[in-house]
């Protein structure tokens, strides 16, 4: 039996072992999905604290629920390790590592490269490797494949290589890892077919595409689409505000059209693990092949400037209340990048806090999901902060409440009754009654 047939049989009978590299927002739910499907799973991560937490049954991703990990460790079909020499054990290795940007908005593929080198050192016949990390078209073939070739094995015959983009949306309740359709593209036909067969065991709907490059480009398109449309409504917000028109009302009115329009909403800037980062992977690759991405880069500029606009609106609002920004007591509501999660990756709240402090404001924050901040790669000078209690006394003694994230768990009625000045970047106060102070939308 050749390697293709042997691996197909192991996948079909669920006797294949699944290795997940990177146990973060993508890898941990993926590991749970394959475990739930009946496979034996092994999680790999370079962070020993994550491994220790998992083995103790503690879930460090709170939006998934307290018992999310505890269920895994009660069975003999699960293990977690930081020992990458054990990569010889899995029959399928799914790579879910970070793909951040460098200082000059260039792709940082170091995590993919290091992980691929580790796989190459233990690579054996009859293994399938699938990259899930978001990246530019050509990464799987041009970055991973040459490193794996060093093993001396032949791709498509001895081992198999494919790409399947992650589509996680932390905190979303109407979809899960299993229910979100999965794109799969292989380096070759055999690799693509094996990867699709593997995902069909755990994911409800799997769509095969012609190549890894198609799947890579599709993921980039998904996030460019969002970035560009968010930039559009952010730009409209600035223009319409000057015209005395509420952009939120405009969006609600436009959304009544049953076709040809999809609602996007403005905010204080982009956050999260995808939209602020992924479009720049395409702009970098485009320059490599002699083209520019003017539309995408313009959207990036608009979104990147939104914290500046919010700070300007906050300064003007304080001025109207007879307060200077210097020494003003400002409470930032929400540091997570979106509602109802504890995910602070690329959150614009930290840029707001940085600028407020730079202008001399006394800044505190409240976030029911983020009790304390940790050192941020882009903000090395920001001190660690603790979330303050949201009380009537705190709100009354604050010169300005700046709403950066509209968590459901925030007591918006309390804010309405006791805050003197509210700068609202999320339209959070629109349905709150008995607002005693002044609300300025930003």
Catalytic residue, chosen from 126, 274, 400, 410, is 274
Residue 186: beta bridge partners? 162
78-81 β-sheet, strand order: 78-81, 40-44, 17-21, 92-95, 127-131, 159-163, 182-186, 206-208
Q: Reply yes or no on whether 96 is catalytic.
A: no
Per DSSP, the three-state class of 115 is helix
**Structural Rg of the chain based on CA atoms:** 24
DSSP β-ladder status, 159-163 and 182-186 = antiparallel
CA dist 295 and 283 (Å) reads 10
The Cα-based distances of 86 to 10, 156, 229 in angstroms read 19, 23, 44
CA dist 34 and 13 (Å) reads 13
271 and 213 in contact (C-beta within 8 Å)? no
CA dist 244 and 391 (Å) reads 33
Per DSSP, the three-state class of 6 is helix
Phi-psi map region of 403: left, alpha, beta (phi>0 left; psi -120 to 50 alpha): beta
The token pair that represents 161 in the structure block: 């290589």
| Helix axis angle, 212-243 to 247-254, nearest 10° | 130
Give residue 190's Cα distance to chain centre. Answer: 31
CA dist 179 and 7 (Å) reads 25
Catalytic residues: 274
């Amino acid at each position: 039996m050749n390697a293709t047939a042997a691996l197909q049989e192991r996948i079909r009978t669920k006797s294949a072992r699944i290795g997940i590299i990177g146990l973060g927002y993508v890898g941990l739910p993926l590991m749970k999905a394959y475990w739930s499907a009946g496979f034996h799973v092994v999680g790999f991560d370079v962070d020993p604290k994550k491994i220790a937490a998992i083995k103790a049954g503690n879930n460090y991703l709170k939006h998934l629920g307290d018992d999310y990990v505890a269920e895994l460790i009660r069975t003999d079909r699960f293990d977690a390790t930081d020992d990458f020499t054990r990569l010889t054990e899995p029959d399928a290795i799914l790579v879910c590592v970070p793909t951040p940007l460098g200082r000059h908005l260039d792709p940082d593929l170091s995590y993919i490269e290091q992980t691929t080198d580790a796989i190459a050192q233990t690579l054996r016949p009859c293994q399938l490797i699938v990259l899930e990390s978001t990246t530019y078209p050509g990464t799987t073939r041009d970055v991973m494949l040459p490193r794996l070739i060093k093993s001396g094995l032949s791709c498509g015959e001895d081992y198999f290589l494919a790409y399947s983009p992650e589509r996680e949306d932390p905190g979303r309740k109407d979809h899960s890892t299993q229910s979100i359709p999965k794109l799969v593209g292989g380096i070759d036909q055999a690799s693509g077919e094996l990867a699709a067969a593997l995902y069909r065991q755990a994911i409800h709907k799997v769509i095969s595409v012609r190549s890894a490059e198609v799947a890579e480009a599709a993921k980039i398109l998904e996030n460019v689409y969002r970035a560009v449309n968010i930039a559009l409504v952010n730009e409209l917000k600035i223009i319409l505000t000057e015209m005395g028109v509420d952009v939120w009302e405009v969006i609600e009115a436009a959304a009544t059209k049953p076709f040809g329009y999809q609602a996007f909403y403005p905010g204080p800037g982009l956050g999260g693990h995808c939209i602020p980062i992924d479009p720049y992977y395409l702009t970098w690759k485009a320059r490599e092949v002699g083209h520019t991405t003017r539309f995408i880069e313009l959207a990036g500029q608009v979104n990147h400037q939104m914290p500046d606009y919010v700070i300007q609106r906050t300064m003007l609002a304080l001025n109207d209340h007879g307060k200077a920004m210097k020494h003003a007591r400002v409470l930032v509501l929400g540091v997570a990048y979106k509602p109802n999660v504890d995910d602070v990756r690329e959150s614009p709240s930290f840029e707001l806090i940085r600028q407020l402090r730079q202008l001399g404001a006394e800044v505190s924050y409240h976030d029911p999901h983020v009790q304390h901040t940790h050192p941020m790669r882009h903000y090395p000078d920001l001190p660690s902060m603790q979330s303050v209690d949201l009380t009537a006394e705190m709100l009354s003694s604050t010169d300005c409440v700046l709403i950066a994230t509209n968590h459901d768990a925030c007591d918006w009625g309390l804010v309405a009754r006791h805050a003197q000045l509210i700068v609202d970047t999320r339209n959070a106060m629109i349905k709150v009654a008995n607002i005693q102070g002044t609300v300025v939308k930003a």
